[in-house]
Structure 1
Amino acid sequence: MPFLDRLQRWADDRPDDTAVVVAGAHLTWSGLRDRAAALVPSAPAVTVLSEHNSIRFAVAFAAAVAGERQCAVLDPAWPQQLREAIATQIARTSPDPTQVPPTGTGLADGPPGASFLIGLTSGTTSVPKAFTRSRQSWQDSFDASIEFFGLHQEDKTLAPGPLAASLNLYALAECLYAGAEFHTLEHFDVGAAHAAVSHDGITRLVLVPTMLRLLSERGLAGGVDASGIRSIICAGSKLDARTLEAARRWAPNATLFEYYGASELSFVSGAALPPGEPVEPGGTAIGRPFPGVDIRILDDDGTELPDGGDGNICVRSGMVSNGYLWGDDGHALRCFNGWYTVGDQGFLSGGTLHMLGRRSDMIITAGTNVYPHEVEMALASVPGVAAAVAAGRADDLRGKRVVAAVVPSHGGITATALKAGIEDVLARNKRPLEYFALTELPLTDRGKISRQLLLDWMDQNDPRIRRLG
């Protein structure tokens, strides 16, 4: 049961308590149950849901996964042609409606092993890969995340990003499962997020690091009180030093959680950073295994590597997805005798997972393998650096050369200072050969770093980037 059985329980026990808030619009537990139940009889076997954040989204999603139904959530920001292509592909891979058993007309969960969610990898120019998840895999994920993050019924969670993104969709469903109040915005807006923190009693944030930095820095400048926030869950990339410092000053009582996971694997490892606890800057550590997760580092032949050896991060847990409906090239999700990997590279040291990055991001320069993540974490530890991005630029001699760009935290910064700052942190053959300064980070529409966009800015002499001498 992903969450519908729990939703029925909360609606019976606390009918008039608030379940979901979207941009100030409130929906009670009984209201959510009744409105979703009214949609179930007309809900198809597979629903394609592509909407911006709204109360209607939460209601439609609940109805779309009732019985043995499945739901595919598409980003409404994707081009219409892409969304239509995905819907067509889903229709092709869906069972023949005449051969599908009745899914029922009530708001109840289907069998634990049945698929209920069609997940899509992000994409803007080609049809993304699609994978499926079972109800049992999400229940296992809920139990693990609630234990790890310490979610309680009295918590009020704000996830200010789009519900079409898996981070926020999961946060919504997790709160419905736990009986905790969930808040979001029509679209991400710093002022609206601050208003929710100030006036709605928010105790928990779920967001990506770029959003956390904006909320923290502008919250400090504007005197927004975030002392009531008890936990901040960040995903998408490791917290850099500036974001961590700003978040700790703005929300002094919050435990900051960062974790590693993948859409196909769910949660893998994580770390909790209690208020005031010192953190090693420039590190690649991303915590210890989540509850119910085993981690091994395997080479491409499936052989386990010793402690400290770099290889494929492989996991074994009940939270792994069922696999792909389409788009599987044999490398996106691999299995070695029950150990699954999406190709992310890392190593274990004393039980702690260290994340190096995607194999596809790896830079081969003069025969040396360099992961941009290593370079970025090293540069982020240099005083005066707010954020860093590294990439591989074409080079006739080396194949590719490592280049890096930084957003200064204040004033200016020089290439000499950057080189000196990473001397004791990064091996010589992994250090950048060119340095640039940025006025802003190269981000996708979902707030993730785009290394290709960085390279495009360099090639186009974009005004947002300049070379450091």
Structure 2
Amino acid sequence: MPFLDRLQRWADERPHHPAVVIAGRRLTWAQLRDGAEARLGATGPITALCQENSVDFALQYAAAVAGERQCAVLDPSWPAGLQADIVAAVRAHAVPGQVPDAAADLLADGQPGSTFLIGLTSGTTSLPKAFTRSRRSWQESFEASIEFFGLRADDVTLAPGPLAASLNLYALSECLYAGSEFQTLASFDVGDIHAAITYDRVTRLVLVPTMLRMLSERGLAGGVDAAGIRTIICAGSKLDARTLQAARRWAPNATIFEYYGASELSFVSGAGLPAGRPPEVGGTGIGRPFPGVEVRILDDAGAQVPDDGAGNICVRSGLVSNGYLWGDDGEALRSFGDWYTVGDQGFLRDGELHILGRRADMILTAGKNVYPHEVELALSALPGVCAAVAAGMPDDIRGQRVVAGVVPAHGGLTATSLRAGLEAILPRDKRPLQYFLLTELPATDRGKVSRTLLLDWIAGHDPRVKNLGA
């Protein structure tokens, strides 16, 4: 069961307690159960749910996964043509479950092994891959994440991103399973989030690193009290030192969790930084495996790599998805027996997983493998650096050379100061050979940092780039 049997329990035990608060509208546990149940008659075996954040989203989502129903969640910001293509693909590929007549109007979970969610890997202009998840895989994920993050029934979780994103959809579902209040907003707004933290008893934040940094820095500047936050959960990329330091100052009583996972794998590993403990500077470690999850590093032939040796991060657990409904190219999700990988590279050291990045991003310089992610984390830990991006530039002698662009937090950054700062935290053969000062990070139209764009800026002498030299 993902969460509907639990929803029935909470509606019986505390019907008038708040369950979901979205954009200022509140649903009690009884209202959520009764409202979702009332929609079952009009909800078919497969739903393509495409809505902005609202209580209507929560009601329709609960109805869309009842019994043996399946739900695909689409981002409403995607172009209309892309949405239509995805809906057509869902209708063509999804196999409806069997919903007995007697169970058609019951708000209850279907069989544990049955598919309930059709997940979409991205929101690009091309058709994203679609994978499926069983009810059992999410129930096991809930049990693992509730234990790992310490979610309590008296927590109030705020996930301020779009419910169409898997991070926030999972947070909503997890809270329904745990009987814990969930909140979100119509859209991301720093002032509204600060107001919710101040007035709505929020104890737990689930968000991506860029959101955390913005909330923390503006919260410190504006005197927003976040002392009541006891848990912060970040996903999407490893937290840089500046974000961690700002979050620690702003929310001094919070345990700050960061974790590694993938839509197709669910949770893999994570670590919590308790209140008062200083962050590790420039580290690549992302904690130990989640409860019930095994992690190994395997080479491309499926052989196990010794500790400290880099290779494919592979997972064996009951949390892994069923695979792709469409778009499987044989590379995005690979298996070595019952070990699965999405191609991320890393290594194990004393039981802790370290992430290096995607193989496609690797820089081969003078026979050495360098992952930009590791360089960027080290640079972001230096005083005066707001953000950093690294890439491999063609080099006649080395094949490629490592170059880095930095966005300064204040003036005075030089190539000499950057080189000196990296001496203690990054091996010599991984240090950039050339530095560039940036007015902003090079990013795509969808806001994703682009290393290719950095190289284009450098080659085109873009005014947003200033060469600091070697």
Q: Into which bin does the TM-score normalised by the smaller protein fall? A: over 0.9
Q: Could you tell me which residue of structure 1 aligns to residue 186 of structure 2?
A: 186
Q: Could you tell me which residue of structure 2 aligns to residue 58 of structure 1?
A: 58
Q: Could you tell me which residue of structure 2 aligns to residue 154 of structure 1?
A: 154
Question: 1:21 and 1:60 mapped to 2: Cα distance?
Answer: 15
1:410, distance to aligned residue in structure 2 (A): 2.5
3-state secondary structure, aligned to 2:324: strand
Moved more, 126-135 or 389-398: 389-398
Amino acid at match of 2:229: I
1:391, distance to aligned residue in structure 2 (A): 2.1
Q: Could you tell me which residue of structure 1 aligns to residue 176 of structure 2?
A: 176
Amino acid at match of 2:280: E
3-state secondary structure, aligned to 2:216: helix
1:397, distance to aligned residue in structure 2 (A): 5.3
Offset from partner CA, 1:229-277 (integer Å, 9 cap, x none): 0010001111111111110110000000011111100000010100111
Alignment of 1:69-108 (within 5 A): 69-95=69-95, 104-108=104-108
Offset from partner CA, 1:349-371 (integer Å, 9 cap, x none): 11011111111222223433211
Q: Is the 8 A contact 1:208 1:447 kept in 2?
A: no
Amino acid at match of 1:218: R
Question: 1:70 and 1:460 mapped to 2: Cα distance?
Answer: 49
Structure 1 pair 463–275 and aligned structure 2 pair: CA distance change class (3 A): farther
Alignment of 1:426-465 (within 5 A): 426-443=426-443, 448-459=448-459, 461-465=461-465
Question: 1:238 and 1:147 mapped to 2: Cα distance?
Answer: 21
Q: Could you tell me which residue of structure 2 aligns to residue 404 of structure 1?
A: 404
1:114, distance to aligned residue in structure 2 (A): 0.4
Amino acid at match of 1:319: L
Structure 1 pair 183–309 and aligned structure 2 pair: CA distance change class (3 A): same
Amino acid at match of 2:157: T
Amino acid at match of 2:154: E
Question: 1:446 and 1:159 mapped to 2: Cα distance?
Answer: 20
Q: Does residue 209 in structure 1 map to residue 192 in structure 2? A: no
Question: 1:457 and 1:78 mapped to 2: Cα distance?
Answer: 28
Structure 1 pair 262–101 and aligned structure 2 pair: CA distance change class (3 A): same
Q: Is the 8 A contact 2:231 2:254 kept in 1?
A: yes
Offset from partner CA, 1:9-65 (integer Å, 9 cap, x none): 111111111111112111111111111111112112111111111111111111111
1:439, distance to aligned residue in structure 2 (A): 3.2
Moved more, 393-402 or 277-286: 393-402
1:416, distance to aligned residue in structure 2 (A): 1.8
Q: Could you tell me which residue of structure 2 aligns to residue 112 of structure 1?
A: 112
Q: Which runs of 5+ in 2 are unaligned?
A: none
Structure 1 pair 465–106 and aligned structure 2 pair: CA distance change class (3 A): farther
Offset from partner CA, 1:70-97 (integer Å, 9 cap, x none): 1111111111111111111111102379
Question: 1:51 and 1:443 mapped to 2: Cα distance?
Answer: 26
1:165, distance to aligned residue in structure 2 (A): 0.7
Q: Which runs of 5+ in 1 are unaligned?
A: none
Q: Could you tell me which residue of structure 2 aligns to residue 124 of structure 1?
A: 124
RMSD between superposed Cα atoms in Å: 1.9
Alignment of 1:28-427 (within 5 A): 28-95=28-95, 104-395=104-395, 398-427=398-427
Question: 1:49 and 1:66 mapped to 2: Cα distance?
Answer: 14
1:5, distance to aligned residue in structure 2 (A): 0.6
1:126, distance to aligned residue in structure 2 (A): 1.1
Using structure 2 for the length normalisation, give the TM-score: 0.95
3-state secondary structure, aligned to 2:157: strand
Amino acid at match of 2:195: A
Amino acid at match of 1:341: T
Amino acid at match of 2:30: S
Q: Could you tell me which residue of structure 2 aligns to residue 7 of structure 1?
A: 7
